[in-house]
Structure 1
Amino acid sequence: MSRYVGSKWRKTAAIERNALLAQYVPETLKMTGASLSQLLQRHGMVYVKPDRGTYGNGVIRVERSGEGYNYQVGKKIRRFDQFASLYQSILRQTRGRRYLVQKGIHLLEYEGRRFDIRVMVQFAPGRSWETTGIIGRVAAKNKIVTNYHSGGKIVSADVLLRSNTDQVAAKLLALSKLGAQAGKAMQTAFPGVYEIGLDIAMDKTMHPWILEVNTRPDPYIFRKHKDPKVFRRIMRYAKAYPGK
């Protein structure tokens, strides 16, 4: 079995240490009142997320606007005139747990709903890192997270990209290479990691951003891939990890 690394902070730091990958990581800090204010002033919109957690649970989208501030959890939006009251309300949401604040990437949309891309990367039987699957995840209506377990929908990545660019093959190839580089970086930082799932956001310029690295990615969403060979290969590689 591949090693599990729970801390998003540690995983982000491992990716950022790689000069090639750092340009794809949104600015991420441990959340304090100062860091939240700083990133809101700099970027206008941020995501606040638990350092440990799955399925998009606990993720908060925070925005600064001319009238003040607002944040969204699930489908509920709350508005504030002052930063202090915003921050106190967020602290009640986080309940003393460690949270991170990350530069917000405005996700591309498909049929009016936000989407991101899951890139499955595995340590192949030939002892090299290989991207074995790429698939799209579309958020439920009015939701900020795309996770399948939070009501998201699985859609072919090429369909999602085609609605935003005519360079679909080139973008998929670039994501595949990015995945392999991230796999190497994670295994260097955490020996025993043999698979990762990258959550990739594409911005309006089609620049990819690594939102999160999962070391226990759900392979079963790839059952919905249009090519059944993709899921079979993922499962075959998983059975061949060292130590199995």
Structure 2
Amino acid sequence: MAIQRVRSKWAKTMVLVKSSDLRQYVPLTKRYSRETLRSMLEEYGMVYVKPDSGTFGKGVIRVEKTSEPSQGYRFQIQKDPTFAPTFDGLCEGLRRYTGKKGYLIQKGVYLLKHQNRRFDLRVMVQKNLQNKWETTAIIGRVSAPRNVVTNYHSGGTIMTFEKVMAEHLSPSEISAYSSRLKKLGAAIGRQLSTAYPNLKELGADVAIDTKLHPWVLEVNTKPHPYIYKTLADKSIYRKVRKYSLAYGGMKAKRGS
């Protein structure tokens, strides 16, 4: 049976928030509209506007109210910020992106930083050999300087979870936090399976805020397994590959 893939971020988010246990980890997400943008900016000050479907962080826009009345609002896609003195001007500036396809608005999360660069985590979750959800890898993705997104394909840097968290937690705290994220990853897999029973693998993008609360920004049902090859601990990639081969996510090479 083919591995199930789900493109819509909205659809996956709606499944996650049905869980009372997981709801606390999902930032408020709504469909894009002018009035929703206004109300969420008034409440949170910063939001992310993102396409309902898409990969590699393409099309993600950070939008925020500025502290300077003359500047009004700031929005940024990739590295170059644009200022709009009025809300009307902001909406006009965003229209070139949001008018093309369905967009969502998500409450902004102020990410932890590693050496003054924002980072989030990719939590790899797979069906194991017992057909149970298991978190098999957690890596840090550090944004390129001034970039909005952390994605590797947008210039981000892959680092170990321990390295990116070393500025924020002690070694024993890092180990405990890793265990917490592994449980969260498996819970995400179980919950999404209630709506999509043929899922076999997923990559959860998890942001850690300045109070060390984890937030599930989105879930990719076609995660890229090869990024784990870059880690010094090769056992991580071997496990990811072993499980993927078992459920048909990767194709075995001849002689391997």
Quick one: distance in 1 between partners of 2:138 and 2:231?
9
Q: 2:222 aligns with which of 211, 216, 219?
A: 216
| Equivalent residue number for residue 238 of structure 2 | 232
Q: 2:96 aligns with which of 92, 103, 119?
A: 92
User: CA contact under 8 A between 1:2 and 1:215: conserved in structure 2?
Assistant: no
Q: How many Å apart are 1:117 and its aligned residue? A: 0.5
Quick one: distance in 1 between partners of 2:46 and 2:12?
22
Which secondary structure does the structure 1 equivalent of 2:136 belong to?
A: strand
Which secondary structure does the structure 2 equivalent of 1:240 belong to?
A: helix
User: CA contact under 8 A between 1:40 and 1:46: conserved in structure 2?
Assistant: yes
Quick one: distance in 2 between partners of 1:134 and 1:111?
19
Identity of aligned residues (%): 44
Equivalent pairs, count: 244
User: CA contact under 8 A between 2:120 and 2:142: conserved in structure 1?
Assistant: yes
Quick one: distance in 1 between partners of 2:90 and 2:249?
49
| Equivalent residue number for residue 169 of structure 1 | 175
Cα RMSD (Å): 1.4
The letter of the residue matching 1:241 is Y
Quick one: distance in 1 between partners of 2:33 and 2:44?
16
Quick one: distance in 2 between partners of 1:115 and 1:70?
21
Q: How many Å apart are 1:96 and its aligned residue? A: 2.6
User: CA contact under 8 A between 2:5 and 2:222: conserved in structure 1?
Assistant: yes
Q: 2:198 aligns with which of 184, 192, 196?
A: 192
- What whole-Å deviation, never above 9, does each CA across 1:17-66 have from its counterpart, x for those lacking one? 11111100000000000111111111000000000100000000000123
User: CA contact under 8 A between 2:3 and 2:249: conserved in structure 1?
Assistant: no
User: CA contact under 8 A between 1:47 and 1:103: conserved in structure 2?
Assistant: yes
User: CA contact under 8 A between 1:33 and 1:87: conserved in structure 2?
Assistant: yes
Q: How many Å apart are 1:242 and its aligned residue? A: 7.7
Which secondary structure does the structure 2 equivalent of 1:137 belong to?
A: strand
User: CA contact under 8 A between 1:119 and 1:199: conserved in structure 2?
Assistant: yes
TM-score (norm 1): 0.97
Distance 1:101 1:22, change over 3 A: same
Which secondary structure does the structure 2 equivalent of 1:23 belong to?
A: helix
Note the residue ranges of structure 1 that are not aligned, 5 or more in a row.
none
| Equivalent residue number for residue 253 of structure 2 | none
TM-score (norm 2): 0.93
Structure 1 ranges of 4+ moved more than 6 A: none
| Equivalent residue number for residue 27 of structure 1 | 28
Which secondary structure does the structure 2 equivalent of 1:3 belong to?
A: coil
